[in-house]
Structure 1
Amino acid sequence: MKKVGLYFGTFNPIHIGHLVIANHFAEHTDLEEIWMVVTPHNPFKKKSTLLDNYQRLEMVYLATESYEFLKPNDIEFGLPQPNYTADTLVYLQEKYLQYEFSLIMGEDNLNSFHKWKNSDVILANHHIYVYPRLLDSALEESLVKSGKIHMVHAPIIEISSSFIRDEIKEGKNVRPLLPEKVWEYIDNNLFYK
């Protein structure tokens, strides 16, 4: 079975930090592909701040086209809104029987994982690969004992999409923080101004 890591995000916009993390997981774990799943609406984020779904998907295509193992994915566009990871995982497992799906998430998300819809079901059926954040917190004991959590020593990237959006709005140069084609796409379309 092919091992696929699911890296969910609004990617509003996708930036070099996302690519560093995704590529690191493709190169340094047993995951054979990383699907960059563009989320139409994260239940914990305000929808009004998001660019159109297909504009964000286009940025993910532009950002990943030269990476063999990073794949843009719009699977959640056709699922009921708002999207919940548990529902998406059930759908993917039914549709792609030949794949074993794992989650990729930051340590900050893992610490709030118990609040997710059906988190116990997710943990029972899927592995979770975690990249570090600058945190000083202990993981919940039940997560550690599950044997399904894989802490991956990846570079710590402290760049956020919200920071990039704010900088663009203030007229700052964010070109170094974005893949070149993504920066051109944003600049040509006057996004986030």
Structure 2
Amino acid sequence: MKIGLYFGTFNPIHIGHLIIANHMAENTDMDQIWMVVTPHNPHKKKTSLLDDYHRLQMVFLATEDYPKIKPSDIEFKLSQPNYTVNTLAHLQEKYPNHEFSLIMGEDNLNSLHKWKNYEVILQNHTIFVYPRISSEVISGEFINHPKIHRVGAPVIELSSTFIRDNIKNGKNIKPMLPVKVWEYIDHNLFYKK
């Protein structure tokens, strides 16, 4: 089975994440997309994150109507901070019959050379890249790389930071979130402070 791994803190998951994940599930040869909830991204401050299990629950609520999109807590069990190369090695060992690919925005592709053992990732895994408006020019090393595939997915300029800031400021962000995610956030009074 071909699995696309869409990593994120999903703090919170929003419709932009779902649009990208669904596009990848429907328009590539991947059988499933796993939304991998990252407990601690080495490039982000942990203090701004909701509890891991709340974020996982929101991903579960957001994806339950999409049979090809699954929530994953695989990184919860691994040492932190999480490095993608370690997660991939763990997944390959746990699911030897699956073929794992990465899904990332063009902005992340530009910083791929800073990732721990990125050469190992590129050697063993395909990367599916979706467009971002705010992208810089792609580094020469990655322009025509045989393991990197650009996918003409919709360009979604919506961020979890924007959503959190708007909730904090009392704005209505309901259209930006799956209904059950909005209800979960509203019920728990998340991101109000």
Instruction: Identify the TM-score tier after normalising by the shorter chain.
Output: over 0.9
Question: What is the match of residue 160 of structure 1?
Answer: 159
Q: List structure 1 segments (4+ residues) > 4 angstroms apart after TM superposition.
A: none
Give the Cα separation in 1 of the matches to 2:137 and 2:182: 37
Give yes or no for contact 2:3–2:32 (8 Å, CA) kept in 1. yes
Q: Which residue identity is paired with 2:118?
A: S
Q: Which residue identity is paired with 1:55?
A: H
Give the Cα separation in 2 of the matches to 1:132 and 1:144: 14
Is it true that 1:3 corresponds to 2:2 in the alignment? yes
SS at match of 2:66: coil
Q: What does 1:76-91 correspond to in 2, within 5 Å?
A: 76-91=75-90
SS at match of 1:129: strand
Question: What is the match of residue 33 of structure 1?
Answer: 32
Question: What is the match of residue 128 of structure 2?
Answer: 129
Deviation of the 1:142 alpha carbon: 2.2
Give the Cα separation in 2 of the matches to 1:97 and 1:20: 29
Give yes or no for contact 2:106–2:135 (8 Å, CA) kept in 1. no
Cα gap change, 1:11 to 1:136, in 2 (>3 Å): closer
Q: Which residue identity is paired with 2:170?
A: G
Give the share of equivalent positions with the same residue, in percent. 68
Deviations 1:13-33 (A, max 9, x none): 000000000000000001110
Deviation of the 1:84 alpha carbon: 0.4
Is it true that 1:115 corresponds to 2:110 in the alignment? no
Cα gap change, 1:136 to 1:175, in 2 (>3 Å): closer
Structure 1 gap ranges (5+): none
Deviations 1:66-92 (A, max 9, x none): 001000000000100000001000000
**Which TM-score applies when normalising by structure 1?**
0.98
Q: What value does the CA root-mean-square deviation take over the aligned residues?
A: 0.8
Cα gap change, 1:136 to 1:72, in 2 (>3 Å): closer
Question: What is the match of residue 14 of structure 1?
Answer: 13
Question: What is the match of residue 96 of structure 1?
Answer: 95
Give the Cα separation in 1 of the matches to 2:25 and 2:166: 30
Q: Which residue identity is paired with 2:9?
A: T
**Which TM-score applies when normalising by structure 2?**
0.98
SS at match of 2:100: strand
